[in-house]
Chains A and B, each alone.
Chain A
Amino acid sequence: MFSRRTFLTGSAALAGAGILAAGAGQGFAAGPIKLGSILDTSGAFDAYGKPMDMALRLAVDEINAAGGLLGRQVEIVAYDTQSDMALYTQYGQQLARSDRVDVVHGGILSASREAIRQTLRKSGVPYFYNVLYEGGVCDRNITVVGVTPSQQVEVLIPAAIRKWGKKIYVLAADYNYGQITARWIEKFARDAGGEIVQTDFFPLDVADFGSTIAKIQSAAPDIVVPALVGGAHLSFFRQWAAAGMKSKIPMASTTIGIGNEHKVLTPEEGDGILVAYNYSPELASPTNEAFLAAWSAKYGNTDAIHEIAVSHYQGIQVWAEAVRKAGDVAHDALIGAVESGLSIDGPGGNVSIDPKTHHAVLDVHLMEMAGQKLKVIESFPQRQPSDTQGVCDLAANPDDNTQYEIKI
């Protein structure tokens, strides 16, 4: 295995030299490295996608300003999937087959990831999915640089139970993220001595939660845990506050804030909601300060930054690091580098890739929404993606291609 990788690296270097000679007209660089981007920058999920696109462009600008990768500039080939899952397969195929990109970064909802994952795997294009998700994807072609349930839910739910009580009412978005996350919430709640009184699933276009709020009251839980996604679900938080429930039953959420919801809601509607993520702009580290400064320099202010924009930024850095380490952008060499103990220092702290699962090891912070900000309460450094580690070992089964789901 190792020798083959070395051979590949060597031959790629030779090929690179060939291109270098042929492409003399373009100066010293060979053709640019093509980075395929596939994000919802319009439609119901653009609150997630637009800042991710900004993060992508910032990251690539920085890479190019520093001389590119392997002496080549990075060129973005971007598609807007308009929050339409069917467009993902279409643009995914286009990126892989006609644009022939070297890597694809993107996908926001888990539905979109599953729509393109197989296409990219078949075409041998390395795929980086840089978003908080429900865990369990086991596929050598993908690298996941986002928070998973064992990193987030395992921190969040026990903390909420300690703080408020044992009875939990779960509201989850009705697709793979919500379905699987709801089961993780149940597992970690039980482990911490809590119980789930009810779980309700909501299609992504539901916006009227009046009857749900009545039902929650009749169940009288100690905590409400919304794992709601997208623009329509945001109205739950407004209606909850408008019904005067804010002061009666506290909330801990696995998703609110990811799309900067805390800045859209008023402090009265948002304050006090408990969350756990990898990033808050309040983190005091030199890397984060430099990141915030670079973002303001490019975009004027830092308002748009959110959890998954940063995780996208970190994902691109991880990929860039892998390319540097491999000395090549080709599939096998790159995956080899991903499995070689990769690590970067990002705005959200140190991010390293677990070779057996291709998932990230990263810091997680328990936070509370306060005055439209995320206030860090407690930090949990370098958490392992143990949900996925428990079921996935790509070193032993390199051909695995499943998304494992938790069974309860």
Chain B
Amino acid sequence: MDLAAIFAVEILYAIASLVVISSGLAVVFGMMRVINLAHGEFMMVGGYVTIVAVRSGINIYIAMLVVAPLVVGVLGVIVERLIIRRLYGRLVDTMLASWGLSLLLIGLASMIFGNTTTGISPPIPGFAIGRYQVNGYSFFIILAAIAILVAMFAVLAGTRAGLVARGAMQDAAMASALGYNPERVYMLTFFAGSALAGLAGGLFAPLLGLVPTIGGAYIAKAFITVISGGASVIAGLVSSAVLFGSTSQIFTLATTPMVGEIALLLIAVVLLRLMPQGITSRFFRGKM
């Protein structure tokens, strides 16, 4: 029984971590039809910001929940102004440019922080469920995932800003005619997506350690999760995270992490083969 509870926590954690990793990408892709391949590196930057902030004496929770999202959000705005803005509507070009950006960020981080693994210790002690110990930080990630989803839903469905954003994405000209500036909406959306990436990076830094190249491990998962999820930002994200997270973790627990990862990838292939065009296809036609 205790063991079942432990395994259940691990499965929930796997789902939550996919949500945390992918949320930023999902916002940017779902709202703007932009695939930011530097998403993993934005997370990496968030991680380094957290570690640097903690080392310079800032409380760890403030560092990862406030400082990292803000810094990466601002970085996102700069990137949007300098690069992404020029490429709207050119899906492949944005992917390539952001890929270039990701390499650039890896290079920069290697020059600044060196190629060595660094890390900080998780701030939450483990606790016992019956005879077994659980990493308290796993629960924190699960809570964070729920908070992110709730916040996303609240903003998109319940606030005026969310309404305007959705409106501007649907019909930029109309939004513009109504007095809203679509450019600003794009910029703010990209800010939100980047801030979520920064938050994710901050959240994972204490758990997984950091190297400049760590983004590569995140982006593939996030990319697969978001694309398989489909058009709807929140429902798509949750459904694919649940599917991939639970399958891969069940296989991991039954065998090895390698088999878990391979199971995730195979499921993704099958899923995309069965739903080749998916609900999102209409957004892509003619853009690539």
Contact = CB atoms under 8 A, between A and B. Distances in A.
Interface stretch (B77-85, B110-118, B178-186): B110-118
B252 interface: yes
A238 B125 CA distance: 11
Contact of A206 (B10, B122, B207, B257): B257
B127 A244 contact: yes
Given A217-B132, A244-B128, A211 B257 contact: yes
A248 B128 CA distance: 11
20 contacts: A42-B114, A46-B115, A174-B258, A207-B214, A208-B257, A210-B138, A214-B132, A214-B253, A218-B3, A231-B209, A232-B117, A235-B208, A238-B122, A242-B122, A242-B136, A242-B137, A244-B128, A245-B133, A264-B117, A269-B121
Contact of B119 (A44, A205, A206, A238): A238
Interface in A212-242: 212-215, 217-218, 230-232, 234-235, 238-239, 241-242
B13 interface: yes
Given A238-B122, A266-B121, A207 B208 contact: yes
B257 A234 contact: no
A21 interface: no
A211 B207 contact: no
A79 interface: no
A201 interface: yes
Interface in B54-103: none
A47 interface: yes
Contacts, number: 116
Contacts of B214: 207
Contact of A245 (B118, B126, B138, B260): B126
Interface string A255-299: 000000000101011000000000000000000000000000000
Contacts of B239: none
A201 B256 contact: yes
B253 A215 contact: yes
A207 B133 contact: no
Interface residues of B, number: 44
Contacts of B13: 210
Pick from A46, A174, A215, A232 the residue with the most CB of B within 10 Å. Answer: A215
B22 to A, nearest CB: 16
Range for the number of chain A residues in contact with chain B = 35 or more
A234 B117 contact: yes
A322 to B, nearest CB: 33
Contacts of B114: 42, 46
A44 B260 CA distance: 23
A203 interface: yes
A205 B213 CA distance: 11
A215 B251 CA distance: 12
Contact of A46 (B17, B116, B125, B135): B116
A200 interface: yes
Contact of B124 (A230, A242, A269): A242
B6 A214 contact: yes
A19 interface: no
B10 A210 contact: yes
B211 interface: yes
B257 A44 contact: no
Interface in A42-76: 42-44, 46-47
Interface string B1-36: 001001100100110010000000000000000000
B134 interface: yes
B249 interface: yes
Nearest to B127: A244
Given A211-B252, A214-B6, A238 B133 contact: no
Given A203-B258, A210-B10, A243-B126, A231 B208 contact: no
Interface string A180-219: 0000000000000000000011110111101111110110
B235 to A, nearest CB: 26
Contacts of B118: 264
Contacts of A205: 217
A207 to B, nearest CB: 4
